[in-house]
Structure 1
Amino acid sequence: MSISTSFSRSNIIAQLQALLYSSVAAGVPAISASIRTSTQTLWSSTAGFSDLSNQKPINSKHIFGIGSITKLFIAVVILQLIEEDKLKLSDTLSSFLVQEVFHDIGNAEPATIGRLLSHSAGVESWEDDPKWIVEGRGKDLDPDRIWRKLDTLEYIRHPSSLTPGVFSYANTNFTFLGLVIEKITGKTAESEIRRRILAPLGMKDTYLEGFEEGVGKEKVPRRYHFATKDFIKAAGICPKFPEVEWNGTNLIDATGSNTSVEWVAGGMLSSPSDLMNFAIAIRNGNLLNPSSMKILQDWNPAGNAEIGHGLFRFKSPLGYGSWLGHNGSVLGFTGSLFWAEEGDCVVSVLANVGTMHAGEVPSSAAHVAINTEFLDLAKKLAGFVEGDKSSNT
């Protein structure tokens, strides 16, 4: 990769930091980002505040909800179980789960493992159910509730309007996959993630909130959510959540809530550095064998992107190449984790503000990662490392 003479390391880093500051100025309370290659961290920084009430600065030790990036962990475990001949992509949900679990959920019984992984089973998402939105994120939310693993399925026990074989993103798919993991292994899905991924990779800042012991509340910033007209209309505001104005943006302070409702569809907390280790391990084939890597990257259309089996590929809308990974958004948090399809560059951006059901918002972790020059700058920074390597050969 050639680097323009108009760019220097310090210039690129200054521009990256400016993107973080711009996001905070637009209304994001705090943001944390990192860029890595296989061998080293190129840049890691933060901007904003972990607590707006006292403007306590965010720092690199804080962890964030990662939302649907959690699904990548489940995809890896499922593919490892396939490697162990404990299930096949063609196996149906009904081969593992009793009917009491999936009864009356449209298209669930014949859904295959492959279609669940690729969001093409035709199963509706509990996250889209209007009643769940109010009770899971809105005015009827009980912040102290620890949701049970089957609770969300009660919202979608009706015929599905979706067509099997056609992409339709649904949290339900991964709720089911988590239950399949538990049936096959006889262990909790969270313990299998820990045994197979977190422990081997030394990911000490990563856990499923509500189902595992955390790393200390002091490491989790306050969690905020955009209180747009769309959010208020769809969800309403939980009376226990104070409203906050930050840089001209209306937010709610959802601190005190938890991500247990998401479970393996999006309930994990982590740090940019931990996520980097995970992404590099996937990309380099350290967690999956070559046949599983082909399954993971068996691409099919998925809206403005492509999906394999649990992994997305998208072309940067700004022309910065193709990237593999996942976005995430839950109550109080947003995140992005991607690696360049060509070259050695991995990026992670996390923020303590949620965007779900909020419609158009001024910024978020995904906005910074995808809709700014962030990916271009990341590749340029990685290019210096490639240039250093080539100069030594």
Structure 2
Amino acid sequence: MQSTRRTLLAAALVLGVVAGPAVPPALAATSSAAVPTRSGIPALEAAIAGLPTRDATAALVRAGGSEGVWRGSSGVHDLRTNRPADPAGRFRAGSVTKVFTAAVALQLATEGTLDLDRSARSYLPELIPAAYGKVTVRQLLHHTHGIPAPDFPGDTVEERYADRFRIHDPEDMVRSATSKNREFPPGQKQHYLNIGYTIAALVIERVSGHSYEHQVARRILKPLGLRDTYLPGADPHILGPHNHGYQTMRLDDGTTGPRDVSVWGPTDGWAAGDIISTTADLERFTKALFQGHVVRGPLLREMFTLPKVADWGTGDPAAYSAGLSMKKLGGREVWGKTGSRWGYNTGVASTRDGSRTLVYSVNSTDAKGQEMNEVARNIMVAAYGNP
């Protein structure tokens, strides 16, 4: 399809610019610097100790901010060689991609190129049907649009694995989603889904005249020097050094166990979930974002303001802003974003004042499970405290 070919070509061009040299191999499996604060070294070390386990094969962690610095890794590069995990390895960051997408949209809004209060249909009249004509760009970013998820083939992880190299076209995903009845009137509830960010990226392309990948590279990756972060297009591989991801599933011999899922097509996520990065790059990005060096001016508040609506499923207060989410941990507000792709769980977080930042990558064997991976949860609690 024409749009897919355009996106994949743009991604290939971006890769040539931002991928940079290979990440240097790690010298040791674990390294750290003192963090004599609330969580302390013992808690973070304990959170990632003893890998691999049934739940995770590796973990990479960077804690920073004015409260102190700690870096550590645990586990293995792969289950075949059992060599130590590479702390500088790349990984799939999943929905952390949404932070980049929201930041680009807010930059365009700051420049006057994009109006958050205009309807998505006004930018994409040939794609968004009249039934969704009142959905605004802001509602796309806030997950308050009411557009349901598109249909994807396969219900089980085994079926998804067999179909892992399928190319998903963004416009086709939007057509699938908008052919259904809305979940709720726009602006009335919040339902966290990828489709809003797929549409937002198409709006970014329409108003900028360039591919989404080009905009992310020009506006964020290059200025911040994120040389090990890239958007993969349709390439199912993780380029450069990386620790293998595994998913527990039914194997060919009928048993259940971990299967290497490091190679998996990313196009079903696109602007909502396909970015590949490192903990060092995501730490740099998180600090720059919270310090106002990525989104500048009043529109940065969009990322730290929750819409005053209820969650569509639970009835709880909305937890997602434009690109970020907020949880109260250890008695204080922690803003950030988690993400998951098969074999990988990722999280970026910070207190609003930057006193404690956190980035982690956990090679989870059930990265899309109903519950948060135990290792990832222990890292968050070690860094910030209990909810």
Scaled to the shorter chain, the TM-score interval is: 0.7 to 0.9
Aligned equivalents of 1:137, 1:76: Cα separation in 2: 35
Greater Cα offset, 51-60 or 198-207: 51-60
Alignment partner of 2:40: what SS? helix
| Structure 1 unmatched ranges of 5 or more | 1-6, 228-236, 378-393
Aligned equivalent of 1:160: 182
Alignment partner of 1:195: what SS? helix
1:110 matched to 2:138? The reply is no
Identity among equivalent pairs (%): 24
Aligned equivalent of 1:385: none
1:314 to 307, 327, 333: 327
Aligned equivalent of 1:169: 192
Aligned residue type for 1:204: R
1:186 matched to 2:220? The reply is no
Task: Calculate the TM-score normalised by the size of structure 1.
Answer: 0.78
Deviations 1:79-117 (A, max 9, x none): 111111112111101111132x3348xx53321011111
Aligned equivalents of 1:60, 1:282: Cα separation in 2: 23
Aligned equivalents of 1:139, 1:114: Cα separation in 2: 32
Structure 1 residues 48 and 264: alpha-carbon distance in aligned structure 2, compared to 1, 3 A threshold: same
Aligned equivalent of 1:144: 165
Superposed, which structure 2 residues align to 1:1-393 within 5 Å? 8=36, 12-21=40-49, 24-25=52-53, 27-37=55-65, 42-99=69-126, 101-103=127-129, 108-126=132-150, 129=151, 131-134=152-155, 138-139=159-160, 141-156=162-177, 157-165=179-187, 166-210=189-233, 217-227=239-249, 250-300=257-307, 303=316, 306-316=319-329, 319-353=330-364, 355=366, 357-360=368-371, 363-365=374-376, 367-370=377-380, 372-376=381-385
Q: CA deviation at 1:204?
A: 0.8
Aligned equivalents of 1:112, 1:361: Cα separation in 2: 31
Task: Calculate the TM-score normalised by the size of structure 2.
Answer: 0.79
Structure 1 residues 329 and 238: alpha-carbon distance in aligned structure 2, compared to 1, 3 A threshold: farther
Structure 1 residues 322 and 194: alpha-carbon distance in aligned structure 2, compared to 1, 3 A threshold: same
Alignment partner of 2:348: what SS? strand
Q: Does the CA contact (< 8 Å) of 1:136 and 1:261 recur in 2?
A: no
Q: Does the CA contact (< 8 Å) of 1:77 and 1:196 recur in 2?
A: yes
Structure 1 residues 243 and 296: alpha-carbon distance in aligned structure 2, compared to 1, 3 A threshold: farther
Aligned residue type for 1:331: W
Structure 1 residues 122 and 183: alpha-carbon distance in aligned structure 2, compared to 1, 3 A threshold: same
Alignment partner of 1:373: what SS? helix
Deviations 1:187-246 (A, max 9, x none): 1101100000000000011111225898x634132222244xxxxxxxxx697xx9887x
Q: Does the CA contact (< 8 Å) of 2:345 and 2:367 recur in 1?
A: no
Q: Does the CA contact (< 8 Å) of 2:54 and 2:365 recur in 1?
A: no
Alignment partner of 1:209: what SS? coil
Aligned residue type for 2:245: R
Q: Does the CA contact (< 8 Å) of 2:90 and 2:240 recur in 1?
A: no
Aligned equivalents of 1:111, 1:197: Cα separation in 2: 27
RMSD over aligned Cα atoms: 3.0
Q: CA deviation at 1:135?
A: 8.6
Aligned residues: 343
Greater Cα offset, 292-301 or 343-352: 292-301
Aligned equivalents of 1:56, 1:198: Cα separation in 2: 31
Alignment partner of 1:25: what SS? coil
Structure 1 residues 137 and 267: alpha-carbon distance in aligned structure 2, compared to 1, 3 A threshold: farther
Q: CA deviation at 1:142?
A: 2.7
